[in-house]
Amino acid sequence: MNANVLIVDDSRTVRMMVRSALEQAGHRVTEAYDGVNAIATLENVKPDLIITDVNMPEMDGITLVRELRGKQGFPRIPILILTTVQDAEMKEKGRQAGATGWMCKPFQPDQLTAVVQKVLSR
């Protein structure tokens, strides 16, 4: 299944990596560099999955999830937050905000495509 994935990360290296890995797996990728930019992007793009970093300028990932689940009208779209292994606190914040799941940063391309496949096949 090919999907539209929105990657929200202020690091263009991460965005590029996500794009490269997912496009190779046949998905389409849209990029946004922070929460505010993501919300603006979502006016034109309807992704099947959003992967968002947490600590970003302007609007952080947790706020983004909360916004999307709340007034922005994206109650159902799967959202993964990117966290570090140790950061249980952040995962908890993500869960409370309404994220679907979490994925660790740093990741390798294969891990990412596997996760995306898994989320999309639910």
Among 8, 29, 64, 72, binds another protein (CB under 8 A): 29
| DSSP string covering 59-84 | S-HHHHHHHHHTTTS-SSS-EEEEE-
107 binds another protein (CB under 8 A): yes
Among 25, 36, 63, 72, binds another protein (CB under 8 A): 25
Under 8 Å between Cβ of 62 and 79: no
Among residue numbers 68 through 97, which ones bind another protein (CB under 8 A)?
69, 75-78, 80, 84-89, 91-92, 94-97
Under 8 Å between Cβ of 29 and 5: yes
Between 52 and 113, CB nearer to another protein: 113
Residue 8 C-beta: closest distance to another protein, Å: 12
110 binds another protein (CB under 8 A): yes
Q: How far apart are CA 82 and CA 18, in angstroms?
A: 12
Residue 76 C-beta: closest distance to another protein, Å: 5
Q: How far apart are CA 106 and CA 36, in angstroms?
A: 23
